Amino acid sequence: MVLEYTKKPNAAMSVLEPYRGPWSKTLAAHLLNRAGFGGLPADIDHAAKAGLDKSVDALVDFDKIEEVVAPPTLPDNPANLRDVRKLSEEEKKKLFRSNREAIEDIRGWWIGRMLRTQRPLQEKLTVFWHGHFATSANDVKNARHMYAQNEFLRQHCLAGFRDLLRGISRDPAMLKYLDNNTNRKSHPNENYARELMELFSMGIGNYTEDDVKAAARAFTGWTFRGDEFAIIDRQHDEGEKAFLGRRGNFDGDDVIDIILQQPCTARWMAKKFFAFFVYDDPEPAIVDELAVALRRQDYQFKPFLRALLKSEVFYSPRAWRTQIKSPAQLVLGSVRYLGTEINERALAVAMRLLGQDLLFPPNVKGWDGGETWINTNSLLMRYNMAGYLVEGQIPESGTLPAKGPERRQRLSRFARPKTELEKFYGPDISADGPKLVDALVARLLQAPVSAAGRAMLIEYTERTRVSERPSTVAHLVMSMPEYQLC
């Protein structure tokens, strides 16, 4: 299926030209990695048999798949700040603690959902939008608001961009995070207006400081009461504003409409989507073409992503196994491949130690991704985390001492016993070095390993006790540069 608008007269080949080459397990695994958190052997087999079109459609049309996951329990918070002020110090502390605890619950709940969902693309996109509209619970503090935002992003993950921008501009967590709840006519607070343009839609260099000031005025009075969005009329600036070359008594929605008319907005979003799903730093010509497609489609992300996941470029050598796994991708994939039962809160700790603390992005820019995930510290941490995941023992911070009471003390409260890898392969496989290596490489790496690498792993098994082999070989495979890619 090609979307009409991708066909340009006389163009040699459109970026979104559908892939017509042979379909294989390798490409099926690639699709499941990028549109989800990696497939188990059975999932890969299934997608390989179903073919490209059906596999992509099954991922994109996730609303056809029944999924009823009960939401996490949320604390009852006072309806507004005035009620909080009336509380005693002790009650305030209790309120703060219960929210902090609930935020950890929500994060654990989300990770559990990512691990077990039948709609992997929906959760993958929720992570994408969480990084895009980055909002930290450190500042928001209110667990109900953090959950509401998470659910908003999930429900609108393939909606139109207008709906997303209008919704996020009314989202209590965002209003709080970027201080729009205190953006008043008398003293506009520019924080939200600036980031809306710089990070959420247009990119820096496409607007002036005066545009920031005008947009801030348009959003004055936009705040929330309890869990609900509210506009305080007397705080809202009804005066004329000059914004991106237009004049009028604009409010927030007008600002969003004008932003959507800017070609730079389509380029910004096309590039961001492409970098997340296909490869970093796409060629300008690709971005241009995708941007045109996105605008003609009125910023509807569903047909856009469907075409992208079916495209030639998505299955090109530049895309295949060239993406550095995010910590979420690495940890969730590893847990699924290893079949470990690790408490989701411990997995959140693991991701935090690798540089991706879900619900606590480092700043409003979210996570830069790509090669910035990797430095000397984080790479060793990834390798060590693989070992901890095999053992089911996640440290609360840094590293675990080899033995003794200090090890127990530094172990995450939520750690669980180690995995039993043998359960996937029958009892005898550990005795057969080459068989064990091939099985673990296929399961974990999902791509061929070099002949030299395979030989090194086999040689290792020959010098190691049979009982030690499965877990230590798994750790070694996961301590390879190859395992960092998907």
Partner 1 sequence: MNYDNIQTRREFVRNLLFLTAGGTAPFFLTRTVLALDRTVSAAGTKSIPGIPDDRILIVVQMGGGNDGLNMVVPFAMDEYYRARTNLGVPADSVLKLNDTIGLHPKLDKLKGLYDAGNMAVVQGVGYPNPDRSHFRSMEIWQTGDPQSRTTEYGWLGSYLDNACPGCDPKMRRMNPVAGVNVGGWMPVALKSKKGLSVALESPDSFRWIPISDQANDAQKAETTFERLNRIVTRDLGDPRVARLDFLSRVAMNAQLSSDRVHEVTKKYHGGATYPGSGLARQLQMVAKMIAGGLDTRIYYVSMGGFDTHANQKGAHERLLTELGEGVAAFYDDLKKQGNDGRVLMMTFSEFGRRVSENASGGTDHGSGAPLFVFGSRIKPGVYGNHPGLAAGDLDRGDVKFHTDFRSVYATLLENWLGAKSQPILGADFKKLAFV
Q: Per rule CB under 8 A, is residue 318 in the interface with partner 1?
A: yes
Query: Burial code of 189-227, b = ≥16 C-beta within 10 A, e = fewer?
Result: bbbbbbbbbbbbbbbeebbeeebbbbbbbbbbbbbbeee
DSSP secondary structure of 197-241: IIIIIS-TTSS-HHHHHHHHHHTTTEEEETTEEEE-GGGS--S-E
Q: Per rule CB under 8 A, is residue 26 in the interface with partner 1?
A: no
Q: Per rule CB under 8 A, is residue 150 in the interface with partner 1?
A: no
Contact 399, 407 (CB under 8 A): no
Q: Per rule CB under 8 A, is residue 381 in the interface with partner 1?
A: yes
Q: Per rule CB under 8 A, is residue 184 in the interface with partner 1?
A: yes
Residues 185, 195: Cα–Cα separation, whole Å: 19
Of the candidate residues 9, 284, 317, 426, the single one contacting partner 1 (CB under 8 A): 317
Residues 75, 242: Cα–Cα separation, whole Å: 43
**Shortest Å distance, C-beta 187 to partner 1:** 4
Pick 158 or 400: Cβ nearer partner 1? 400
Q: Per rule CB under 8 A, is residue 391 in the interface with partner 1?
A: yes
> ∠ CA(167), CA(169), CA(171), 5° rounding?
70
How big is the site for partner 1, counted in residues (CB under 8 A)?
69
Q: At what angle are helices 376-391 and 469-478 packed, to 10 degrees?
A: 150
**Shortest Å distance, C-beta 364 to partner 1:** 8
Q: Per rule CB under 8 A, is residue 262 in the interface with partner 1?
A: no
Residues 417, 390: Cα–Cα separation, whole Å: 9
**Shortest Å distance, C-beta 23 to partner 1:** 20
Q: Per rule CB under 8 A, is residue 383 in the interface with partner 1?
A: yes
Of the candidate residues 24, 80, 377, 409, the single one contacting partner 1 (CB under 8 A): 377
* Residues counted in the chain: 486
Piece in contact with partner 1 (CB under 8 A), picked from 31-39, 167-175, 357-365, 437-445: 357-365
Piece in contact with partner 1 (CB under 8 A), picked from 43-51, 176-184, 243-251, 253-261: 176-184
Q: Per rule CB under 8 A, is residue 322 in the interface with partner 1?
A: yes
Q: Per rule CB under 8 A, is residue 356 in the interface with partner 1?
A: no
Among residues 177, 165, 156, which one has the least CA distance to residue 223? 177
Which amino acid, one-letter code, is at 74? L
Of the candidate residues 380, 428, 434, 448, the single one contacting partner 1 (CB under 8 A): 380
Quickly count: other Cβ atoms within 10 Å of residue 329's Cβ: 24
Q: Per rule CB under 8 A, is residue 374 in the interface with partner 1?
A: yes
Q: Widest CA span of the chain, in angstroms?
A: 79
As beta bridge partners, residue 160 has 300
**Strand 241-243 and strand 228-231: pairing?**
unpaired
In the three-class reduction of DSSP (H, G, I as helix; E, B as strand; rest coil), residue 285 is classed as helix
**Shortest Å distance, C-beta 26 to partner 1:** 13
Among residues 148, 174, 171, which one has the least CA distance to residue 229? 171
Pick 62 or 388: Cβ nearer partner 1? 388
Quickly count: other Cβ atoms within 10 Å of residue 281's Cβ: 9
Of the candidate residues 111, 244, 324, 330, the single one contacting partner 1 (CB under 8 A): 324
Q: Per rule CB under 8 A, is residue 485 in the interface with partner 1?
A: yes
Q: Tell me, rounded to whole angstroms, the distance of Cα 470 from its chain centroid.
A: 31
In the three-class reduction of DSSP (H, G, I as helix; E, B as strand; rest coil), residue 126 is classed as helix
Of the candidate residues 106, 308, 441, 480, the single one contacting partner 1 (CB under 8 A): 480
Residues 14, 289: Cα–Cα separation, whole Å: 8
For residue 266 the two structure tokens come to 């389509």
Of the candidate residues 98, 155, 182, 300, the single one contacting partner 1 (CB under 8 A): 182
Pick 109 or 320: Cβ nearer partner 1? 320
Of the candidate residues 26, 155, 189, 300, the single one contacting partner 1 (CB under 8 A): 189
Residues 449, 460: Cα–Cα separation, whole Å: 15
Residues 408, 395: Cα–Cα separation, whole Å: 9
Piece in contact with partner 1 (CB under 8 A), picked from 25-33, 42-50, 152-160, 318-326: 318-326
**Shortest Å distance, C-beta 253 to partner 1:** 23
Q: Per rule CB under 8 A, is residue 399 in the interface with partner 1?
A: yes
Which are the contacts of 480, defined by CB distance < 8 A and separation ≥ 6?
Answer: 445, 449, 453
Q: Per rule CB under 8 A, is residue 390 in the interface with partner 1?
A: yes
The contact pattern for partner 1, residues 270-299, with x = CB under 8 A and - = no contact, is ---------x--------------------
Question: According to CB under 8 A, which residues from 439 to 458 bind partner 1?
Answer: 452-453, 456-457
Q: Which residues bind partner 1 (CB under 8 A)?
A: 178-179, 182-184, 186-191, 194, 198, 204-205, 209, 212, 279, 317-318, 320-322, 324, 355, 362-365, 371-372, 374-381, 383-384, 387, 390-391, 398-400, 402-403, 452-453, 456-457, 459-460, 463-465, 468, 471-472, 475-476, 479-482, 484-485
